[in-house]
Amino acid sequence: MLTERDIAYVRDQFVRLEDLGDADELRARIDRGELPRPAYVLPDGSEWVPRDYLPGFERAELERRYLEACRPWEAYLDGAYQVCLRRVTPEAIARKDELVAELALELLEPRPADPEWRARVRDAVDELDALERPFSPDYDRTRFGRPPTRDLLVARGRLLLADVG
C-alpha cells in the first residue's frame, strides 16, 4: 500500500505515462512487449514512469543490448528496474547486478580494519549509490518482500565503513 510519502516521492521523481505522449499508444506498446510496465500505479489509477522512459532507439536494438548485457527480456519488461535505477539501460542493469553480487560477498564477511577491503567496499558502495534511485520511503521497502539493495548494501556498507572511521 502506497503511503502519502510514497506518493509524494513518485510525483517528484517520475512522470505520468500520459505526459510522454499518446497514453493509449504507449499502453499498446507495453501490451506488445515493446516497453516496460509503469514503475508505479497510484491509487487514483495514474501510471508513473521515469522521465527517460522512452528510449531513443527501437525495441530490437534495446532487446539486443539488454540480452547481451544481462538477462531475459521479460525481467526488463516487468518494470522493476525503473524503480531502482536512475537510468534504465542494459548496461546499468548489468552493472547493478555485478555490484550487488560483489557487495553481498564483501559484506558477508566484513573486514573493516583491512584497508584493501575498505577501499573495495567504498568504491562499490559509491558506484551502486550513484546507479540507484533513493526508493520510495515506505512502499518500495516492502513491495519486493525484502528491503531494497540501497538498504541492504549501500546503507550497511556505509555503516561498516563509518564504524572504523
pTM of the model: 0.68
Q: How far is CA 126 from CA 2, 13, 57, 65, 103, in A?
A: 28, 21, 29, 25, 11
Mean pLDDT of the chain: 88
End-to-end alpha carbon distance in the chain = 38
Q: Report the domain count for the chain.
A: 1
Number of Cβ within a 10 Å radius of residue 89: 16
pLDDT score, position 55: 66
d(CA 36, CA 26): 10
Rounded average pLDDT over 95-123: 93
- Kindly report, residue by residue over 53-65, the tens digit of the pLDDT: 876 656 667 667 7
Full residue range of the structural domain in which residue 124 is found: 4-164
Residues in a beta bridge with 48: 16, 40
Other CB atoms closer than 10 Å to residue 141's CB: what's the count? 15
